[in-house]
Amino acid sequence: MRDKLIFSPWFALAPVLILVSVLLGASLVYGVAQSLGLMSVIGQNTLSLDAYRNILSGQGPAGGEFWGSLVFSLWVSITSTIVSSALALLVAVWLAERRAGSGNVDTLALNWNLAFPHLVWAVALLLFLSQSGLLSRWAATLGLIQTPADFPVLVRDSYGIGIILHYVSKEIPFLALIILAVLRAQPAGYDLIAENLGASRWQRLRYVTLPLVMPSLISGALLVFAFIFSSYEVPALLGVDYPRMLPVLALRFFNDPDLHARADGMAISLVITVIVLIVAAVSIKKGEQ
């Protein structure tokens, strides 16, 4: 009986679970309280839904930007997720096909990119792709464009291209590794049999490989979506002032000099949290199936 208790995974996870739930749980409770207008330092001790009303009604400084930011966040997150999933699938299938020999080198090449923190990668993109960046200067030196300012606006642009470029380049290796793990765990036989039975390359991808990797690809993609949707530093670095992604907007109002405006920032954060939690729940459900 005791052994059963000790070896249960929940018991082994208890220390970290307690830590995480205390630390995150407490901040979450505090966050909810603040979004409801609780701020004892300025004598606000009553709960109200004003902050949520502000942002959802589209009125006021925070609300005026909220819906636009939500659409922009969804655009960036969904586009980045779809593009990186599709490219990751191609990369993984290509790598799996030439499985003979070079497996470790492939994995190393993919892992290498994962080692860059997002912040470093974003700054690197900024240095390379901005209008005063390296590529633009090289292009100007080579006479491809007349002045560095003729270089196309790829980062800090109104459509979020820079942010999408960042996430696509960072998430392809991550998703490719997930897919590759599934493909490498399958016997090569499936593909061979299909080929023997006369399946074309496209048919093998469509009817053999895709069904095999789809469950893990979908949960991986949902994870990627949730991550992009809720991250701050990359859109802050590579985005423009308007439209801004939701986390950037939330921090702007959370740091507002007027303490009354901070509830709005916290309410935006909690909207982000709810959306991410829904996506995570779907992802877990998919993973279980």
Partner 1 sequence: MKRFVFLFVIFATVLSACAPNATTQPVPPRQADPATVQSASTAAPTFAPGQFDINNWDSVLAAAKGQTVNWYIWGGSDSINSFVDNFYGKALKERYSITLNRVPVADTVDAVNQVLSEKQAGKDPGVVDLIWINGQNFFTLKQANLLYPDWAQKIPNAKLVNWDNPAINLDFGTTVNGLESPWSSAQFQFVYDSARIKASDLPHSYAELKTWACANPGRFTYVSPAETGGFLGTSFVKGALYEISGGAAQWQKFDQATWDKWSPELWNYLNAIKPCLWRKGATYPKDEAELKSLLANNEVDFSMTNDITGAGTSIANGLLPKTARAFVFNTDMIGNFNYVAIPSNAPHKAAALVLANLLLEPEFQADQILPENGFGLGYAIDVNRVTDPAALSTLQTASTKLGDSATPASDLAKSLVGDSAAQYQNLVEQGWVTNVLQGK
**From candidates 142, 202, 241, 288, binder to partner 1 by CB under 8 A:** 241
Q: Which of residues 126-145 bind partner 1 (CB under 8 A)?
A: 131-132
**From candidates 90, 149, 181, 192, binder to partner 1 by CB under 8 A:** 149
**From candidates 6, 115, 142, 185, binder to partner 1 by CB under 8 A:** 6
Nearer to partner 1, 104 or 147 (CB): 147
Token pair, residue 49, equals 């839904």
**From candidates 8, 12, 58, 67, binder to partner 1 by CB under 8 A:** 12
118 to 109, 150, 227, 273: CA distances (angstroms):
17, 28, 12, 20
Nearer to partner 1, 42 or 114 (CB): 42
What's the min distance (Å) between Cβ of 289 and partner 1?
33
Q: Does 242 bind partner 1 (CB under 8 A)?
A: yes
Q: Does 15 bind partner 1 (CB under 8 A)?
A: yes
36 to 39, 51, 69: CA distances (angstroms):
9, 7, 21
Q: Does 257 bind partner 1 (CB under 8 A)?
A: yes
**Tokens 């590529």 label which residue?**
135
What is the rounded distance in angstroms from the CA atom of residue 279 to the CA atom of residue 288?
14
What's the min distance (Å) between Cβ of 23 and partner 1?
9
Nearer to partner 1, 40 or 104 (CB): 40
Sequence-distant contacts of 211-214: CB under 8 A, at least 24 apart: 212/182, 212/183, 212/186, 213/89, 213/92, 213/179, 213/182, 213/183
Token pair, residue 239, equals 């985005």
Nearer to partner 1, 155 or 175 (CB): 155
Q: Which of residues 36-55 bind partner 1 (CB under 8 A)?
A: 40-42
Nearer to partner 1, 164 or 172 (CB): 164
Q: Does 26 bind partner 1 (CB under 8 A)?
A: no
For residue 180, give the nearest of 207, 152, 146, 216 by alpha carbon.
216
141 to 45, 109, 145, 147, 252: CA distances (angstroms):
62, 32, 8, 9, 39
**From candidates 8, 19, 20, 98, binder to partner 1 by CB under 8 A:** 19
Q: Does 103 bind partner 1 (CB under 8 A)?
A: no
- The dihedrals phi and psi of 227, each to the nearest 5 degrees, come to -65, -50
Q: Does 31 bind partner 1 (CB under 8 A)?
A: no
**Which residues touch 50 (CB under 8 Å, ≥6 apart)?**
37, 263
What is the rounded distance in angstroms from the CA atom of residue 287 to the CA atom of residue 282?
9
Give contact residues for partner 1 (rule: CB under 8 A).
6, 11-12, 14-15, 18-19, 40-42, 61, 64-65, 131-132, 148-149, 153, 156-158, 240-242, 252, 255, 257-259
